[in-house]
Amino acid sequence: SRTVDAQKRLDTTPLNATLSPIVCIENPDKDISSNLIRNLEFDPLQEEAVSPPLSLFIQELIVMGSAEMQEKLRGMEGCCDGSAMCCRDWFALTALVNTPDAIRHVILPLLLLELIQQNELNEHDASDANSRMSHILCALIGLGGLAAGALSLLLDMLTKSLGCPRLVALAIRAVGGDEGLHALCRLACCEQMDSEVCTAAVYGIGTLAYPVLGHTDVYCIGVPGLNGTIVFYQPPVLVGYVEVGNDGERRRETSLQCPPPYRPTHVILSAELVRNKLLQFTVSRNFRRATCGYETLPLVLRDFARDAPEACRLQGLSDDVQETLRRCALELEDVSKFLTRVLPFSYDPHYVGRKKELFAVEEVLMNVLYNRRTTLGVVEQTLVSIASLPDFATAHAAFPVLDYVIKCVTRFEREGDTAVEGEKAVLVAGLVALGRLLRNEGTPPAVIDTACVVLLHNLDSSSCRLRHAACIGLGEVGAVVNNPGVVARALTDSLSDAAMNHETVAWALTRLGLRGVRVLLDHITPGDGKSSSRSGGDWHKNKNGSRHHAAVVLPISTRMICARALGKVDFLTVSLGIYEDARRLQEELFRRLAAAITSSQMEEELALECAYALAEAVGINLNGKTPTPCRDEEAASYYRSETLNEAFQVLKGLVESGPLPLSVNKALFYSMCLHGGAHGELYASQTAIQAPLVALRAAATFGLRACGGKVIRTVVMALNDDDAAVRVEAFDTLDAVGVKDVLTVLRTRPYKHTQQVIAALRDSLLRDMGRGAKRQAARDLYAALVRA
C-alpha cells in the first residue's frame, strides 16, 4: 500500500547529517528588487580595532536603518574566502537573512524558483523522501506561515500528483494555515479529482493534530565555489515527524496515521550571495527597519553555532574555521529558557475553542465517508484521519462512525470469502478508529456499550487482521469501557491465540487499568498473587461459564512481552486522571515486579525484562513535576542539593536485597543512572570502584554508560580494576559512551582531570590486549588527549 511504501521510504532516510545535491541558481537576482546601492563609500580602515561581543554586534545590526546596514554589508565583502577571519560575518548574515521580511522577500523566491525547476524536471524519484524535491518541501514546511506565498504552487502540485503527496499535503497545512486547511477540505470533497489526490487531501486534513518538532533556518557560510547554489542540510536526528505536548516532550501516544517523511531541513547559502541579496533588499520598498531583534534570533544563532562546524566539514573547510565557529558560539546568549520550536497551525492549540471550523472539518470527513462514490482507499484514509485528530476536533464523530462500522461488519460477514481486500482494510481502519473515538468526553454510554459489543464480536472473527484491529480498538477505548471484566477476559484469551500479536494484546490489557495490569502480573508470575486479581466470583469464568486460560502457563516469550508492556503503563490515563487510583496502581506494580525479580523461581531472562519494566514504571512522575535536569558536573559535587527520588530508592533497595543475576544487576544499575538523579550516579560510581563483590563492580560499571562522558574519571579507574571482568566492562562502557562525548566534557573540566584520564588510560591500554575487550575507543581517546 501507499502507506507502507511511504513508511519504507522514511525508514531508509539516513540518520546522519545529510546534504542535498547542489544545484545552481540560474538567476540569483530574480524576484528581488533591482534598485542597487549607488554613491555609498565605505572605508575599511574605519572599523573598530576591538570587535564588540558577537551578541551585541548582531543586536545592533538587526535594528539598523537602510543606509547604515548597507554600509555594514559592504564592509563584509570578501566573506567567501573560506577563512576563519570571516566567521563573525557569517553569524551576522545568518541573523539578518532569517528575519521574517528577509525570509519572505529573499529566501522564499529562491526556494519557489528551485521548486518550479524540480517540477519541470518531473524526475521519477521526486516522491522519494531523500529526493531534492522532498528537501525543498521540508524546508518550506519549516518556514511555516512565512512561506504562505507557496500555497498556490503546492496546491497545484497536489492536484497534479507531483512530489511526495504526504509531504505536499503537510506543506499545505504548515504554510497555508486556515486557508490551506480549507483548500484541502475542498479537494477532499471534489468528485472530479483523482482518488490519489483525494486520499492525499484527506491525509493532509489529519496531519498536524498536535505540535510537531521542526523549523527551517537559513545558514550563511563562506565556502569558495558555493556562490549561486542552494544546499539543504538535515541535522542528524533519530526520528523525523515527532508530535510533542505543551511541555515540548514527545507524546506517549502516537498518531494512528502514518507520519509524513518530514525531517527538519535547513538551507545553506553562500555568504556572498546572501550579502548581495540583502544589499538589494535593504533598498527595496519591502525593507522595514526593525525596532528590536526578532523572537527566534537567539535560537537561530544557537542552531547555526551547532550545525555550522559540521556543515563546514562536509564542505571541506579547514579545522581552524570549525574551531573559530565554536569559539564564536561561546559569545552567544543562553537559550535554555526558550521553548522548543514547532511547526505552526496544529489543531492543538491553533483550533482549540474554534467550534465552527472544527465542525466544518468533521462535516467534510463524514460526507466523504458516506459518499457512495468514494473509493475504498479514500474511505480507509478518511477513517484513519478521523481517528488521528484530537478529541476536541471529533466531538460528533463517534455515532456516525459506529453506524458505518456496523454496516461494514454486516456486509463483510455476508460476503464472506468473496469480500475484496479493500473492504477488509476499511473495516480494520473502522474498528481502530471506533475505539479511539469512544474516549471523547460526552460520548453517550449507549454508544460506548454498542461499540464494545462490535469490537468484542470482531475479536472472535475468523480473520486475524480483524481480530488484531478489534484488539487495538478495545485498547484505545481503555478504562472507559463499561464492561471491563468481559473485555479483560476476552483479551486474556487472546494471549493464548498464537496468530495474534501478543504485544498488542498486552498493551490493550494495560489500557484497562488495574484489572488488566493484574492479569499481566498473574501471567508473569503464575501462582503468585492470584487472589489480588479476583474482583468477583465469576472472574475465572468465560462468557460460556467454563474456566478460562488464567491458570495456563504461557510460553516464556509471551510472558516477557507481558513484562515489557508493564513498563509502558500510563498510570494517570488508565486511572482516568484520578491521582489516588494511579498511585495505588503504580505501588502494586512496584511490589509485584520487585517480588518477581527477587524470586528464585523466576527465569533470568524474564527477571531481566521485569527489571527494565520496573525501572521505566518507577521513572514516571505522577505529580507532573519537571524531572531534575541532568547536569554536566560529576554527581559528587552537587548530589546534596537534590532530594532522593523514588526511582533511586526502589532500585537501590533491589540491588541490596540479595544476590541477583549479573544481567539483572546491570539493568538495575543502568536504570538507576538513568532515572535516579545525582544520587543514582554517585551510588553507581562508588559501587564501581569500592564494592567488595566483583559482580557488583562490573554491573555498576556497565550502568555508568547511561551517564555519558561526565563519569569518565570513574570509568578509567574501573579500567584499572584488579579483576579482568570489571576492566572488560569498563572498556565496553567507554566504547558505548564514545570519544566525542568524553572530549566535550573534558573541555569544560580542570586540566588535572584530563591528566588523570591520560594517566589511567596509559596504565590500562596494554593490560588486556588478549581478552577481547573493545579497546579502540580507549586508544582513540588517549591519542586525542595526547595530541591536544
Query: Residue 678 sits in a domain of what CATH number?
Result: 1.25.10
pLDDT of residue 526: 62
pLDDT band, very low/low/confident/very high, at 146 (cuts 50, 70, 90): very high
Assess if residue 527 is contained within a domain: yes
Residue 480 has pLDDT above 50, yes or no: yes
For the stretch 272-290, pLDDT in tens is 999 999 999 999 999 999 8
Kindly state the average pLDDT of the residues 432-451.
Answer: 92
Portion of the chain with pLDDT greater than 90, in percent? 66
Contact (CB, 8 A) for 267 and 363: no
250 is a domain residue:
no
Q: What residues contact residue 164 under an 8 Å CB cut-off, 6+ apart?
A: 6, 9, 126, 127, 128, 129, 131, 133, 134, 137, 260, 261
478 shares its domain with 517? no
- HEC string of 252-294? CCCCCCCCCCCCCCEEEEEHHHHHHHHHHHCCCCCCCCCCCCC
Domain of residue 456, residue span:
353-482
Picking from 296-305, 507-516, 768-777, which range would have the lowest pLDDT averaged per residue? 768-777
pLDDT at 56 over 90: no
* Rounded-to-integer distance, Cα 584 and Cα 651, Å: 19
Q: What is the residue-averaged pLDDT of the chain?
A: 86
The reply to whether 298 falls in a domain is: no
Within this chain, do residues 539 and 575 fall inside the same structural domain, yes or no?
Answer: yes
Report which DSSP code applies to 751: H
Q: Is the pLDDT of residue 264 over 90?
A: yes
Q: What is the pLDDT of residues 170-194, one digit of tens each?
A: 999 999 999 999 999 999 999 999 9
User: If residue 229 lies in a helix (H) or strand (E), which one and from where to where?
Assistant: strand 229-234
Residue 658 falls within a domain, yes or no? yes
Same domain for 647 and 776? yes
Among residues 573, 591, 625, the one where a domain terminates is: 625
Kindly state whether residue 697 falls inside one of the protein's structural domains: yes
- Summarize the confidence of residues 109-115 as an average pLDDT: 96
At position 416, the amino acid (one-letter code) is: G
Which range among 21-30, 116-125, 618-627 shows the weakest confidence by mean pLDDT? 21-30
Residues 358 and 449 in one domain: yes
pLDDT attached to residue 560: 96
Residue 227 forms part of a structural domain: no
End-to-end CA distance of the chain: 54
More confident site: 564 or 240 = 564
Beta bridge partners of 250: 244
Same domain, 574 and 511: yes
Alpha-carbon distance of 596 to 599, in angstroms, equals 5
Q: Which amino acid is at 45?
A: L
Is residue 400 domain-shared with residue 467, that is, in the same domain? yes
In a domain, 177, yes or no: yes
- By 3-state DSSP, what share of the chain in percent is helix, strand and coil, each rounded to 5? 60, 5, 35
| 20-29, 535-544, 688-697 — most confident range | 688-697
- Separation between Cα atoms, residue 650 and residue 595, nearest integer Å: 12
Q: Are residues 571 and 665 in the same domain?
A: no
pLDDT value at residue 80: 81
Contacts (Cβ under 8 Å, ≥6 apart) of 530: 522, 550
**156 to 137, 167, 180, 590, 721: CA distances (angstroms):** 14, 14, 12, 56, 67
What's the pLDDT band for 354 if we cut at 50, 70, 90? very high
Report the share of the chain in percent with pLDDT over 70. 88
- Same domain, yes or no, for 471 and 505? no
526 belongs to a structural domain = yes
As a whole number, mean pLDDT of residues 80-97 equals 88
Residues 199 and 118 in one domain: yes
Give how far the C-alpha of residue 393 lies from the chain's centroid of Cα atoms, to the nearest Å: 23
For the residues 133-154, what does the mean pLDDT come to?
A: 97
Lowest mean pLDDT among 238-242, 525-529, 590-594, 636-640: 525-529
Instruction: For residues 775 and 766, give the distance between their C-alpha atoms in angstroms, rounded to a whole number.
Output: 9
Residues listed for the chain? 788
The residue out of 450, 482, 514 marking a domain boundary is 482
Q: Give the pLDDT confidence score for residue 346 in this predicted structure.
A: 97
* 232: pLDDT strictly greater than 60: yes
Which pTM value belongs to this model?
0.82
Question: Does one domain contain both 564 and 461?
Answer: no
Q: How many domains does the chain have?
A: 4
Confidence of residue 549 (pLDDT cuts 50, 70, 90): very low
**In Å, how far are 330, 653, 676 from 630, measured between CA atoms?**
20, 23, 11
The region of weakest confidence among 322-326, 474-478, 555-559 is: 322-326
Do both 620 and 640 map to the same domain? no
Q: Are residues 598 and 661 in the same domain?
A: no
Q: Which of 206, 238, 261 is the last residue of a domain?
A: 206
Question: Please, are residues 469 and 427 in contact by the beta-carbon 8 Å criterion?
Answer: yes
